Structure formats: structure tokens, C-alpha cells
Amino acid sequence: MGAFASYAPMALSALQTGQQISSNRAAQKSRAAETEANRQADIVQINASETERARERAEELRIRQARLRARQGAAGLQSGGTGSASAVLAGLEKHALSETQAETDAAARRRAEVNRQASWRETSLLRSSQDDTVARLNAWFARRDGW
């Protein structure tokens, strides 16, 4: 009975330490899943706003082109020329394409930033979980060895 009495506290301590480590890992996985869900939500929001802005730009371009064609058509009937209308329309399309490219690049930078921050958070969570596990094991061995 004496041997059991000396091992029982150590076994209980090992069990408690194991449970604490397991609990910490589960919490870390939960935080990592939350971080991933937040990252996905941010990416979806960026994509949605980019799609909405592209739709607005296309509609705005269509309206501007229709107005320009109507004005040029009325002026062309009076003067007989349509050359400048096609140049202006081409300029509008080129400007719209450059705006689209600039906004696409900005959205890509925002996505990259969201991904970078999520990666950093996940790495930080992993490191803190590993540090906590090592600290708990070291503390357990120190208690066991009577340090």
C-alpha cells in the first residue's frame, strides 16, 4: 500500500497535466478555426465588394457610352461626322479598364493582407500552444523530481 500511496499523487498529477494539455490543444484548435472562419469571411466580403463595384463600373460605362452616342448622333446628324465619337468611346473604355485593373490590384492586395494576418495569427496560436504544452510538461517533471 505504501508504494501505491507514493505513486498515486504523481499519477494524478500526470493525469491532470495531460487533461490540461488536451484542453489547451482543443482551445487552440477552436481559435484556429475561428481565425480561418474570419479570414474566409473577410475574403468573401472583399470579393463581393469587388464584384459589386465592377457591376457598378460596367453600368456607369454603359450609361456614359449611351449618352455620348446620343449626343454624338444628334451632332453627327447636323455635321455629318462620327469620327470623334468612336475616339471618345474608346477613351472611355480604356479609362474603365484602367480603373478596373487598379481596383482588382487593390482587392488582391487586401486579400493578401488578410491571408498574411490570418497566417500570422495561426502561427502565433500554434507557438503559444506549444509553449504552454512545454511549460506544463516541464512543471510536471519538476514537481515529479522535487525541484
CA dist 70 and 75 (Å) reads: 9
In a domain, 141, yes or no: yes
DSSP state of 147: -
**Domain membership flag for residue 43:** yes
Q: Total domain count for the chain? A: 1
Widest CA span of the chain, in angstroms? 114
Residue 139 lies in a domain: yes
pLDDT digits (tens, 9 = 90+) for 79-130: 545 556 677 777 778 888 888 888 889 999 999 999 999 888 888 877 887 7
Q: Is 121 within the bounds of a domain? A: yes
Report yes or no on 48 lying in a domain: yes
For residue 113, the enclosing domain spans 30-145
Q: Kindly state whether residue 129 falls inside one of the protein's structural domains.
A: yes
pLDDT in tens, 12-49: 777 788 888 888 888 888 888 898 999 999 999 999 99
Prediction pTM value:
0.58
For residue 22, is it within any domain?
no
